[in-house]
């Protein structure tokens, strides 16, 4: 895009600094000037979590979230939030919808969560399963396999079939549940040190902006294709060893109710002020967790599963 005029040196997470420190490093312009990561990792640290995204049962990356981001004022709000950290944010590749995760034991009622130790990366999702009686932990990706295989944790969600199989999670627990209610709008971010970004010529800034947008679109398409292939591989090669199961409708309903009881974040300093709720309700389809209007239109859980579990074959949801 730049004809070789703009060069970006890329390092894997952990090579220069611990992965979770990239936000502060880019903010200060120390060692790095940009990063790609999941914004959910910054949840709960001051103003970082005030942009509405990564909520259980909320908007989706293939329609609702990009619409809000591009046309509903989402980008402006995100830029305002990150300006205090000397960062310029842009959306990165999406990795949603997701699966609900791998469980060593079956889930038949909401009470089955009681006493479980569950690895979950969605911060709000962790609050929900905690309310259901589980102990929620944020295990680093590299440690999930060993923790689940050894029984240190009882369940784990990572992303979807493709990424989960790369970690070998299909070899650790038998029961693989969908839909991924906990993080329906998951998306990475590209964020740039503001001083470094502003110092670039305008055409370079636009190149970065459009490159990030292209990665978002192509990344989501890539994700869906790879997930569909991985799901078929699970069915064919691991039949009898892995069960791909829907969470019971009653469990989804209870999780939906619990999700309304956890803090949903907000915008700016007053999450309960008029601007926060206004933005949430302007997101297309953001009627809340299985909101009343949606519930009346859907057979229990079934159509919702098909909506969120795009990793299935077009003709039918996972069996």
Residue 143 has pLDDT above 80, yes or no: yes
Q: Report the share of the chain in percent with pLDDT over 90.
A: 50
Mean pLDDT confidence for 153-173: 95
Question: Quick one: pLDDT at residue 302?
Answer: 32
Residue 133 has pLDDT above 80, yes or no: yes
Residue 46 has pLDDT above 80, yes or no: no
DSSP string, 146-201: HHHHTTSSSEE--S-HHHHHHHTGGGT-SEEEE--GGGTT-EEEEEEEHHHHHTS-
State in Å, rounded, how far the first CA of the chain is from the last one.
44
HSE at residue 149, side-chain half, CA atoms within 13 A, is 11
CA distance 268 to 50: 6
Domains of the chain: 19-96+185-226 (3.40.190.170), 101-181+238-264+279-308 (3.40.190.10)
Between 216 and 134, the more confident residue is: 134
8 Å CB contact between 276 and 210: no
265-308 pLDDT tens trace = 433 333 444 344 334 333 334 333 333 333 334 333 333 332 33
Q: Is the pTM of this model over 0.95?
A: no
């Amino acid at each position: 895009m730049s004809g070789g005029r703009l060069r970006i040196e890329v390092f894997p997470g952990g090579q220069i600094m611990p992965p979770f420190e990239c936000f502060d490093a880019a903010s200060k312009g120390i060692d790095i000037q940009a990063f790609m990561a999941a914004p959910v990792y910054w949840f709960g640290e001051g103003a970082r979590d005030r942009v509405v995204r990564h909520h259980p049962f909320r908007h989706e990356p293939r329609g609702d979230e990009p619409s809000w981001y591009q046309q509903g004022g989402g980008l402006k709000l995100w830029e305002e939030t990150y300006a205090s950290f000397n960062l310029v944010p842009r959306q990165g590749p999406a990795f949603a919808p997701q699966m609900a995760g791998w469980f060593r034991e079956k889930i038949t009622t909401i009470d089955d969560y009681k006493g479980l130790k569950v690895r979950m990366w969605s911060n709000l999702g962790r609050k929900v399963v905690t309310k259901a009686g589980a102990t929620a932990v944020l295990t680093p990706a590299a440690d999930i396999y060993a923790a689940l295989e050894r029984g240190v944790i009882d369940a784990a969600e990572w992303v979807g079939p493709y990424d989960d199989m790369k970690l070998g999670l299909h070899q650790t627990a038998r029961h693989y549940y969908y839909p991924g209610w906990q993080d329906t709008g998951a998306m990475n971010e590209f964020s740039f040190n503001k001083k470094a970004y502003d110092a670039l010529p305008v055409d370079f800034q636009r190149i970065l902006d459009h490159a990030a947008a292209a990665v978002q679109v192509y990344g989501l398409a890539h994700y869906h294709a790879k997930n569909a292939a991985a799901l078929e591989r699970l069915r064919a090669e691991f039949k009898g060893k892995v069960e791909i199961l829907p969470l019971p409708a009653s469990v989804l309903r209870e999780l939906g109710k619990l999700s309304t009881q956890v803090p949903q974040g907000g915008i700016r300093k007053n999450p309960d002020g008029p601007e926060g709720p206004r933005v949430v309700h302007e997101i297309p389809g953001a009627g809340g967790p299985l909101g009343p209007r949606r519930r009346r239109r859907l057979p229990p859980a079934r159509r919702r599963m098909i909506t969120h579990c795009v990793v299935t074959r077009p003709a039918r949801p996972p069996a």
